[in-house]
Amino acid sequence: MKDTVIFSLTRSKGLTKEICDYLHLSEGQIDVQHFADGEILVQPEQSVRGKKIFIIQSTCKPVSESIMEILICIDACKRGSAQEINVITPYYGYARQDRKSKPRQPISAKLVADLLQAAGTNRVVTLDLHATQIQGFFDIPSDDLTAGPMLGQYFKHKNLQDVVVVSPDHGGTVRARRLANILDAPLAIIDKRRPKPNVAVAANVLGDVSGKNVIVVDDICDTAGSLIAACELLKEKGAKDIYCSITHGVFSGPALERIENSVITEFVVTNTIENPELEKMKKIKILSVAPLIAELIRAIVANNPVSYIYDIYEL
């Protein structure tokens, strides 16, 4: 690991510190400046010549600024003669714009992939992409990690009885089934309609949740409107305690207030998106993805199979 440098930009400082502590590495020294006119300067303050660089940054709010920081950092490292540039973006912004659902719509997830490649990155690492086919947007190595084993380990150690894993829509069935397999639990699906962006209507539950402890699984929680509606529907159908298992806590607008005032017993989320407000929330439990990403970095540096990194979660 002596030729490995890990840089943190502005959105994932806490996570990067945890990763460096786990690997017993000093964090790379880098200067990120935002000027009055909106321009950004990113400048490594140490040599990157011949080094394996890891840039860690979730492209969360403000999304476009976060992406520009990464692109400028890639360019700086490339011009500084870095041997290899790896971008780790735990939360991949624009992932929900992965296809044309209406005429003349952009496919922004592909555009971001093109920008990262054009800037000079050699590898991109993401975590629980909204649509796994986004990996195909890259012509360079890309790894889409999953927090599923970590979340599964957490719920397995809670020793919940009569558990049913619930997908909040048809699109998340595969994700929910993975957790259901880990917990050896049945699966239910909520039939949901989305009349417009950030608005969803939960219509019915496909499966038996009456008298069961329910775990609702999703990749992203944005405004929490549809998630809370789904949990209320589950309660109406006779569910006992309701838990939520989310990878990316975007938490726009009134999301946190909605969660605190909801029927949810516990809301489990990872730290792919850092938010100091979460520490104040009584119902929210934060799990760190730092060990997972740290083991990934170790595997990449040692040219070992990435699949082995999940061995740290004993299920």
Q: 289 CB contacts (<8 Å, ≥6 apart)? A: 15, 90, 127, 145, 147, 150, 270, 271, 272
Choosing from 192, 235, 283, 285, which is the catalytic residue?
A: 192
Closest CA to 264 of 291, 277, 246: 246
Environment class of 196 (CB within 10 Å of its CB; exposed 0-12, middle 13-18, buried 19+): exposed
Q: Please state the separation of Cα 46 from the chain's center in Å.
A: 29
Residue 192 known to be catalytic: yes
CA distance 196 to 181: 33
Tell which phi-psi region holds residue 176, choosing left (phi > 0), alpha (psi between -120 and 50) or beta.
Answer: alpha
- Contact between 286 and 275 under an 8 Å Cβ cutoff? The reply is no
Nearest to 12 by CA among 310, 313, 289, 220: 289
Backbone angles phi, psi at 286, to 5 degrees: -100, 130
Q: Which two tokens stand for residue 43?
A: 């400048």
| Distance of alpha carbon 190 from the chain centroid | 22
Residue with tokens 């020793």: 159
Q: How far apart are the C-alpha atoms of 39 and 65, rounded to whole Å?
A: 9
Quote the DSSP letter at residue 306. G
Cα–Cα distance for residue pair 281/290, rounded to 1 Å: 21
Structure-block tokens of residue 258: 């909605």
CB atoms within 10 A of CB 276: 7
- Residues with a known catalytic role: 192
